[in-house]
Amino acid sequence: MAVDYAVIVLYLAGLLVMGWWGMRRARSKSDFLVAGRRLGPAMYSGTMAAIVLGGASTIGGVGLGYQYGLSGAWLVFTIGFGLLALSVFFSARISRLRVYTVAQMLDLRYGGSAATVSAVVMWAYTLMLAVTSTIAYATIFDVIFGIDRVAAIALGGAVVICYSALGGMWSITLTDMAQFAVQTVGVLLLLLPIAVVKAGGFAQMAAELPDDYFSPMSIGAQTVFTYVLIYSFGMLIGQDIWQRVFTARSDRVARLGGTAAGTYCLAYAVAGAVIGTAARVLHPDLADPDEAFAVIVDQALPVGLKGLVLAAALSAVMSTSSGALIACATVANNDLWARLRGRAAEARGEGAGREEVRGNRVFILLMGLAVVAVSVALNDVVEALTVAYNLLVGGLLVPILGGLLWKRGTATGALAGIAAGGVTVVASMAWNGILADEPIYYGLLASLAAHVLVSLATRPTDPAVLAAWQQRVTGAGAAGADPAGAPGAAPAAAAPAAAAGTPHATTSASAADPTAPASAPVPPPRKDTR
């Protein structure tokens, strides 16, 4: 076992080294938050796969395979489908926006309080995602080293906070690539074939298990539908996922690299379900299906390889944790704190760039400490994460996709959609139970109805705002390397309004710099010029 310990310790040390290396590249806000928007296809695909394939996909995916057989792959399948949909249909326009957060996209598209409310929901979601991942890798540390829960949370949290704060997204990207490689080798190339061979091959597995273990829908159609609503749609709007899209150096990289990552997720889903099915043959009487991963690693693998596969599980969880942490800190600093202070975009330059990096680094430290504290305080975060996901999808999915796809959507409609979806989700969870399926169904329906009806009942969005939005979406509105932070880089369509002193001037300035808080409400246009 000493060899396995050495493998894991060396892996953790390597993460810190890559964090230090990434720090040397993080010289500006763009470098720190979105890796300078310079990732090519290989790094983009690897880091995207690493962020979406966390502990639920690895340990949970094997557990579902143990419980339901091959249909246990549906959880990770829906994650892969969501990533494919994001990459094929939305990633190019998201990448062209060149913002840092989902709330900045809403501010650019709608303006007003919808962005602030969405930022609060997104912050809560990313915080709970980081908490869940922290508790998951603390459990792995407990299994590996036999240390108590609080010490395990502190140890794992210290490693993740350290390399994330050192170099921001550059450090996280480098560590994600290492984690992607370890996951691929440990789970797909080692554990999968060894588990199948130990179980006697597929013929022996089919002979010993009930037929429904090899049915694609034995997990239940309603469960699959709920997975689609929560995970596939969650992939479309999560800050942690969008922030990775922002790292792509071009639309093509975002589209093709994300498609490759989504396809990899589908293969990973099948692998996890097959490993779980093999574990059912080898160890049919486990009390908890989620124990299947650790048990089969412990019983089926030789010394050395066992440490590598445990490091693969640790990689899956830590990559999700670091991605959620930087997303949480980005929202907290650039959406919530910036609006609370009421500051406009700061002047750029080398000194300002270093100052912004320091500010974002401080917020990673603060949010990391908050994640550790909440992780220590909570015993069961499944319900808390369910609340966060239900609010995220039930409240934000319709306004975000509506902003991307429907020109008639308005700021008031977006706010109504967020409020109606959020209130309905909370009320339904109180009535039906937090873990029930109904809250997400009712929340989405209420959000859709409110967004459409209120948008149609209110004045259309200012044509100047829509023109600025359209220029940004098509990539024609950038007046510099990073329009999200370029001072005074008003899109061309909005410039005449500003120059003429019309009421649209403040809106145009906000669209030019989505990092700035929304200005005072703009009087509606005199006529609909759609």
Q: What are phi and psi of 84, to 5 degrees?
A: -65, -45
What tokens were used for 360? 């974002």
Region of poorest pLDDT, from 178-182, 366-370, 501-505: 501-505
Reduced 3-state DSSP string for 314-339:
HHHHHHHHHHHHHHHHHHHHHHHHHH
Please write the tens of the pLDDT for every residue from 91-121.
Answer: 999 999 889 999 999 999 987 667 888 999 9
On whether the CB atoms of residues 84 and 262 are closer than 8 A, the answer is: yes
Task: Count the Cβ atoms, other than its own, within 10 Å of residue 186.
Answer: 26
Reduced 3-state DSSP string for 126-191:
HHHHHHHHHHHHHHHHHHHHCCCHHHHHHHHHHHHHHHHHHHHHHHHHHHHHHHHHHHHHHHHHHH
The reported pLDDT for the residue numbered 8 is: 81
Please write the tens of the pLDDT for every residue from 230-276.
Answer: 899 999 999 999 999 999 999 999 999 999 999 999 999 999 999 99
Q: Is residue 502 part of a domain?
A: no
Q: Is residue 479 part of a domain?
A: no
Q: Which residue has the higher pLDDT, 43 or 389?
A: 43
pLDDT bucket at 189, cuts 50 / 70 / 90: very high
Would the pLDDT of 486 be above 60?
no
Residues 148-157: b if buried by 16+ CB within 10 A, e if exposed: eeeebbbbbb
d(CA 305, CA 318): 20
Residue with tokens 């043959």: 281
Region of poorest pLDDT, from 95-99, 212-216, 472-476: 472-476
What tokens were used for 258? 């994300």
pLDDT bucket at 477, cuts 50 / 70 / 90: low
Arithmetic mean of pLDDT over the chain:
84
Determine the average pLDDT of the residues in 138-150. 77
CA angle 359, 44, 21 (to 5 degrees): 50
Range of the domain at 171: 2-379
One-letter amino acid identity for 100? Y
Q: Is residue 425 part of a domain?
A: no
Q: Is residue 29 part of a domain?
A: yes
pLDDT bucket at 416, cuts 50 / 70 / 90: very high
Would the pLDDT of 313 be above 90?
no
On whether the CB atoms of residues 100 and 262 are closer than 8 A, the answer is: no
> What does each C-alpha distance from 329 to 10, 55, 135, 152, 226 come to in angstroms?
28, 21, 19, 22, 29
On whether the CB atoms of residues 66 and 286 are closer than 8 A, the answer is: yes
Query: For the packed helices 397-405 and 113-145, what is the interaxial angle rounded to 10 degrees?
Result: 120
pLDDT bucket at 503, cuts 50 / 70 / 90: very low
Q: Is residue 55 part of a domain?
A: yes
Query: Which CATH number do you get for residue 6?
Result: 1.20.1730.10
Region of poorest pLDDT, from 69-78, 347-356, 370-379, 506-515: 506-515
Domain count, the chain: 1
The reported pLDDT for the residue numbered 243 is: 95
Q: Is residue 34 part of a domain?
A: yes
The model carries a pTM of: 0.84
Q: Which of 113-117, 453-457, 518-522 has the highest mean pLDDT?
A: 453-457
The reported pLDDT for the residue numbered 1 is: 64
Please write the tens of the pLDDT for every residue from 294-304.
Answer: 889 888 888 87
Please write the tens of the pLDDT for every residue from 69-97.
Answer: 999 999 999 999 999 999 999 999 999 98
Q: Is residue 509 part of a domain?
A: no
Q: Is residue 397 part of a domain?
A: no
Region of poorest pLDDT, from 53-62, 273-282, 475-484: 475-484
d(CA 222, CA 212): 17
Would the pLDDT of 502 be above 70?
no
- 248 in helix, strand or coil? strand
